A = this chain, B = another copy of it.
Amino acid sequence: MEKQPYSLHNNIRLIRRGKADITQEKLADKVGCTRQTIAALEKGVYNPSLVLAMRIAKVLQVEIVDLFKLQKTN
């Protein structure tokens, strides 16, 4: 995988605080990862594994497509 030409946007925070209304920690628990991982993802620090992304989508009850958007950067 190339490093540059694709950036990933997500609205985890939006949905977590909106319809889900849970804390980072609670989300992390339900998903089975750490709070720091959730925080980093919300911040867009990295490109999660597919399984992690799917589990987050499931917990938040949204489609993965609605949670993450891929965009070309050039």
Contact = CB atoms under 8 A, between A and B. Distances in A.
Interface of A: 1-2, 5-6, 8, 32-33, 47-55, 58, 63-65, 68, 70
Nearest to A46: B49
Contacts of A6: 51, 55
Of A51, A63, A65, most B-chain CB atoms within 10 Å: A51
A8 B50 CA distance: 9
A46 B64 CA distance: 19
A1 B33 contact: yes
Nearest to A6: B51
A70 B51 contact: yes
A68 B49 contact: no
A1 B32 CA distance: 6
